[in-house]
């Protein structure tokens, strides 16, 4: 008789873990979307136009320990400009696969640029915040 309740409990509990994981992922995605919307508002306040209107570069904002957007796809030869729209925090950028050293710190309203010349996925991260804040991004460079 003891085996039946154990089996029933196991069957009841198994579906709950994935549902909770999906709920947490949805909450995290909504939180990130709200932060990135704030980052874009801040960009417009600082520069007077949306980040999408920058010519010749793809803009990624750095705000509240997030890259916005965290994942982008660009063609080979694209320059990515990371712009710090925080008010008090500095950030850096390390493009891991590039072999280049960590950038200097970008303080509020400053930027960092890197031109991607090699196709493939390339991780990047914020030197001071990737471990403590999980501030990591990905650029997929297409030929």
Domain CATH code at residue 56: 2.60.40.420
81-95 tens-digit pLDDT? 999 999 999 999 999
Q: Which residue has the tokens 């890197």?
A: 114
Q: What is the DSSP string of 75-98?
A: ETTPEEEEEE--SS--B--EEGGG
| Containing structural domain, residue 29 | 3-142
Residues 57, 33: contact at Cβ < 8 Å? Answer: no
What global pTM score does this model have? 0.83
Alpha-carbon distance 31 to 119, whole Å?
31
Residue 136: per-residue pLDDT = 97
CA-wise closest residue to 70 among 21, 123, 27: 123
- What is the domain count for the chain? 1
Span 53-63, pLDDT tens digits: 999 999 999 99
CA distance 86 to 143: 33
């Amino acid at each position: 008789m003891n085996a039946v309740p154990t089996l029933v409990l196991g069957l009841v509990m198994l579906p709950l873990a994935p549902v909770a994981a999906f709920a947490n992922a949805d909450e995290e995605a909504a939180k990130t979307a709200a932060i990135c919307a704030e980052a874009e508002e801040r960009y417009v306040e600082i520069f007077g136009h949306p980040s999408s209107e920058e010519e010749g570069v793809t803009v990624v904002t750095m705000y509240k320990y997030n890259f916005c957007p965290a994942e982008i796809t660009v063609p080979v030869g694209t320059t990515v400009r990371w712009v710090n729209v925080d008010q008090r925090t500095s950030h850096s950028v390390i493009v891991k696969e590039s072999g280049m050293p960590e950038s200097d710190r970008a303080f509020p309203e400053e930027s960092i640029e890197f031109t991607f010349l090699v196709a493939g996925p390339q991780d990047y991260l914020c030197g001071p915040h990737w471990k403590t804040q999980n501030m990591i991004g990905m650029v997929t460079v297409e030929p």
